Structure 1
Amino acid sequence: MKDSMESHTSHIKFWRKRNKPELTLDDITIVDRKMLNRAVGAAALGNAMEWFDFGVYSFLAVTIGHVFFPSGSASAQLIATFATFAAAFLIRPLGGLVFGPLGDKIGRQKVLAFTMIMMAIGTFSIGLIPSYSSIGIAAPILLLVARLVQGFSTGGEYGGAATFIAEYSTDKRRGFMGSWLEFGTLGGYLLGAGLVTGLTAFITPQQLLDWGWRIPFYIAAPLGLFGLYIRLKLEETPAFQKHMEKQEQIEDNKPRQTLFEMLRKYWRPMLQCIGLVLLFNVSNYMLTSYMPSYLTSVLGLSELSGLMLIMVVMFIMMPMTLLLGFWNDRLGRKPVLLAGAVGLIVLSIPALMLIGQGGIVGVFCGLMLLGVLHTFFSGTMPSALPALFTTNTRYSALAIGFNISVSLFGGTTPLITSWLVSETGSVMVPAYYLMGAALIGAITVFTLKETARKPLIGSAPAVENKEEAKKLLKKIRLRKKKREDEDASLSNNTPTQ
């Protein structure tokens, strides 16, 4: 408690300057525990919905290649499938440009409700598209359109969900509460992968090719409706409500900050966001999107074996993500992120060597090593990224920075890695790719300020109850009085000229 109070006071200077000269009990946000739990659940559910689709698409990549692209080499079909997968990421920044500013203008909750239903429609539509053999070139075109709808909606999803949880959480537990967002990611991915694995195990390959692959995409409709219902029941975040109350006091004729002005003013945290997301998402998509096909197409494992191994790794990663969320609240965001980046630099080659042996035990150990390292990022990023920006620009800046990085580096990871493996013939390409991303990420981490157990920039401290608020306020006043006494003492001891 003592360390937590001291970290609050060290960060409160910015808040006091920007808002009020003196902090009062009314300024401190007391978080409603039930509303916080609902907010975390609703945000995590949306992320689960997004990654349910990614899990299904990644695990069915080979089948989708056969259904939507003309017959040819297996490598060409796989690359075409991943190209369609990557195309959705190219439009994500546009979604961020649209939904991010909307989230800062009309509220996080409204935008997140809209992105939820849009994602569900895009995913459900994929299951309705006829095959290439039925309608020819129209099939891959319609698949691309559906993926673009998904990508556009997803452009406003992660930044909004991370912002929503961060602004609802208390300062002491923001890391742990944020880690539930990635718990939802893994849960959604595992659900999608589990469905594909079940289909692979219980129906014939021909049945999977004919109709079985469509079933997981149909499930997106009821999932989306349930998620929409949950999100519509939420209230706006306390931080955004207070921000809007202050905005109402500003003169109506004061011009609103333009996107260009925001990017010019916050270029440094924007670059930091891009660097962190590069590290986070290259690690993520390498494991969750590329590895299922790598195990099958490059190493020659059976589809069922590869799917089962990655599912077990995902399942173990879920509680580990929460554990890292718990510990980054205590150890700090920077040490945890740096440990993960250094771990990737040192251990990527050993992990790929284990996977390359082809034996079940070796493959599992290599995948597990990559999975454990990824939890250092998945448990920390949802709280580290929103803390880079102020309340009035948080949704916009995070959505834009996150999606630019994902589009350029994360979503293209399966495509680029597949192409490099095909061109070079080296099965170690994924390791080198991970090491490069980790090096950039480590450099970025060194430029960060520690934000664990501190209020978000531009927001008041957030605590669990009134007693904690009173203790925090007392601590702040005692430190202020001590500083004033020290200043007075220095002034009295200064010799006159």
Structure 2
Amino acid sequence: MDDNSPNKKRRKFKRRKEENRLHKDDITVVDTQVAKKAVVATALGNAMEWFDFGIYSYLAATIGKIFFPEMTGSMQLVYSFATFAVAFLVRPIGGMFFGMLGDRLGRKRILAVTLVLMALATLSIGCIPGYATIGITAPILLLVARLVQGFSTGGEYSGAMTFIAESTPDKKRGIMSSGLEVGTLVGYIAGSGIVTLLTFILGSDAMLAWGWRIPFLIAAPIGMIGLYLRSHLDETPAFEAMEKEMNDEAKHVSMKDILIFHKKPLLIGMILVFFYNVVDYTVLTYMPSHLNAVLGYGETTGLLLILIVMFIMIPIVLTMGYFGDRIGNKTIIQGGLIGLILLSVPMFLLIGSGNNALVFIGLLVLAIFLASFQGTMPSLLPSLFFTNVRYGGLAITYNISTSLFGGTAPLLVSWLISVTASRLIPAYYLMLASLIGIVIVTFFFKDTSGKPLRGSPPAVEEAKEIADILKDPEEALWWQEEKEKIDEKIIDES
């Protein structure tokens, strides 16, 4: 009989199942200091992504004048933002490319590549001559740089989530993974803050002449620091364990296999990323424009309020990650979704009141609900997938959903306001996304906070925890039954 026949494969599977028992040596004791270094090194890449996001958003009008001078008035801004938005089109492609490589070659190598590409692309924008110097070539080069940024970003965030989740103790996965979103806030604050400071020091004329290039050039040293930190990291314990135990055929899962045999986590993940990104991009990206263009606030006032709120969010995000480890990510997220359903309209009424104190309260309450997602999603999303498909599956889920719903949120909300003339459109959109989210989270999502990741043995902070885990090995390997069902489906299809 052929060695690859279904019966032969079933016997091999049965033998693996019988041998798949938890042993003391299987349990990983994580060095907390090493884990913290992993958080810093990966969060730096995420900070760079949002640093670029911040400087490009704040310099959009200047970039329009430099690269699209033949356009007039608001069309310069439209073309500038269109060049920015095009990066979202290639994010899914970059996610699939780097995600599959990350599951084959390791998380560490791919994260080094994506960081270098991001840094070089951002640096190159600061070096491109303007339209007045090289004509139509200037906006073309800007477009190419944005495409490279989008392509590399597609593999960066999903890889960073995977790396941190696989490098931390199970009981501290939430608090440590929340550091990734601290990187988001720090990057955005730094980017927008540097642009604001340079504009104040240099003045508008100098910024238009040459000062706008400085924030982009800063990407080079940030990238080098990040590359140094990442090059001194070890590969994640979960990936190394998989490398030892699985043959090449089992490790190298194709894109087709992910789409066929892991449909449920892909779909659940896309809904989770949907409401997360709608809230994220509406509160942090759209709100400055809403305050300025819709409500008539001065541009400086609106930006300052958002920056203060983001500063306050940093400890709140870490707190949400901490309590996610204690009472479960699912509970924290449900609380945030219910809060948005009940309070989105009242908070937008406060934001539209014209009173700065009430505006600040409205923004802060929405930011707290957003923080409930930022503190939990980086540890939750990687837990949806098994180790051999985690990077690839997460990259597909995150980037497709982000491209469809995250980048389009500000555009959709702005268009709906122009059509309906209702200032409460953002609140209704947040409520709709949250209603969909609460159904999926409540009925279709299984909370795994504090438990080992799917496909991985337990990871503990201290060796003394091993004895307790070995008392209940079935609980420690809670994912085995699910994995066996997937393996049987693969055998049936072969």
Q: Normalized against structure 1, the TM-score is what?
A: 0.87
Aligned mates of 2:378, 2:278 — CA distance in 1: 16
Q: How far did 1:19 drift?
A: 8.2
SS in 1 for 2:212: helix
Aligned mates of 2:161, 2:352 — CA distance in 1: 36
The equivalent position to 2:335 in structure 1, one of 329, 333, 339, is: 339
Task: List aligned pairs for 1:191-340, cutoff 5 A.
Answer: 191-247=190-246, 250=247, 256-340=252-336
Q: How far did 1:333 drift?
A: 1.1
1:438 corresponds to 2:437: no
CA change 1:477–1:142 in 2 (3 A) is closer
Aligned mates of 2:128, 2:421 — CA distance in 1: 34
Aligned mates of 2:122, 2:196 — CA distance in 1: 19
The equivalent position to 1:471 in structure 2, one of 459, 462, 468, is: 468
Asked if structure 1 preserves the Cα contact closer than 8 Å seen for 2:122 and 2:149, the reply is yes
SS in 2 for 1:236: coil
Which residue of structure 2 lines up, in the alignment, with residue 13 of structure 1?
none
The equivalent position to 1:348 in structure 2, one of 344, 347, 350, is: 344
AA in 2 matched with 1:450: D
Which residue of structure 1 lines up, in the alignment, with residue 9 of structure 2?
none
Task: List aligned pairs for 1:47-66, cutoff 5 A.
Answer: 47-66=46-65
Which residue of structure 2 lines up, in the alignment, with residue 450 of structure 1?
447
CA change 1:479–1:451 in 2 (3 A) is closer
SS in 2 for 1:300: coil
Which shows bigger deviation, 115-124 or 295-304?
A: 295-304
Aligned mates of 1:418, 1:79 — CA distance in 2: 13
Asked if structure 1 preserves the Cα contact closer than 8 Å seen for 2:94 and 2:155, the reply is yes
SS in 2 for 1:399: helix
Aligned mates of 1:272, 1:168 — CA distance in 2: 24
CA change 1:314–1:19 in 2 (3 A) is farther
Asked if structure 2 preserves the Cα contact closer than 8 Å seen for 1:275 and 1:441, the reply is yes
1:185 corresponds to 2:181: no
Task: List aligned pairs for 1:11-26, cutoff 5 A.
Answer: 20-26=19-25
Task: List aligned pairs for 1:14-163, cutoff 5 A.
Answer: 20-69=19-68, 70-74=70-74, 76-163=75-162
Q: How far did 1:296 drift?
A: 2.8
Q: How far did 1:291 drift?
A: 2.0
Question: Mind listing any 5+ residue stretches in structure 2 that lack a counterpart?
Answer: 1-14, 478-494
Which shows bigger deviation, 261-270 or 64-73?
A: 64-73
Q: How far did 1:475 drift?
A: 5.0
CA change 1:154–1:236 in 2 (3 A) is same
Aligned mates of 1:73, 1:392 — CA distance in 2: 51
Q: How far did 1:373 drift?
A: 1.0
Asked if structure 1 preserves the Cα contact closer than 8 Å seen for 2:288 and 2:302, the reply is yes
CA change 1:51–1:436 in 2 (3 A) is same
Q: How far did 1:254 drift?
A: 7.2
Aligned mates of 1:453, 1:255 — CA distance in 2: 25
Asked if structure 2 preserves the Cα contact closer than 8 Å seen for 1:62 and 1:78, the reply is yes
CA change 1:18–1:393 in 2 (3 A) is farther
Aligned mates of 1:406, 1:18 — CA distance in 2: 38
Which residue of structure 1 lines up, in the alignment, with residue 485 of structure 2?
none
Aligned mates of 1:193, 1:422 — CA distance in 2: 27
Asked if structure 2 preserves the Cα contact closer than 8 Å seen for 1:165 and 1:177, the reply is yes
AA in 2 matched with 1:454: K
Q: How far did 1:59 drift?
A: 2.5
Q: How far did 1:88 drift?
A: 0.6
Which residue of structure 1 lines up, in the alignment, with residue 415 of structure 2?
419
Output the aligned Cα RMSD. Answer: 2.3
Equivalenced residues, count:
461
Aligned mates of 1:356, 1:477 — CA distance in 2: 54
Asked if structure 2 preserves the Cα contact closer than 8 Å seen for 1:48 and 1:189, the reply is yes
Aligned mates of 1:143, 1:328 — CA distance in 2: 41
The equivalent position to 1:394 in structure 2, one of 385, 390, 395, is: 390
Which residue of structure 1 lines up, in the alignment, with residue 486 of structure 2?
none
Which residue of structure 2 lines up, in the alignment, with residue 5 of structure 1?
none
Aligned mates of 2:309, 2:476 — CA distance in 1: 48
Which shows bigger deviation, 128-137 or 449-458?
A: 128-137
Aligned-pair identity in percent equals 53
Which shows bigger deviation, 283-292 or 307-316?
A: 283-292
Asked if structure 2 preserves the Cα contact closer than 8 Å seen for 1:79 and 1:415, the reply is no
SS in 2 for 1:393: helix
AA in 1 matched with 2:470: L
Aligned mates of 2:294, 2:67 — CA distance in 1: 21
Aligned mates of 2:403, 2:52 — CA distance in 1: 17
CA change 1:290–1:82 in 2 (3 A) is farther
Asked if structure 1 preserves the Cα contact closer than 8 Å seen for 2:39 and 2:179, the reply is yes
Aligned mates of 1:232, 1:478 — CA distance in 2: 35
Asked if structure 2 preserves the Cα contact closer than 8 Å seen for 1:79 and 1:419, the reply is no
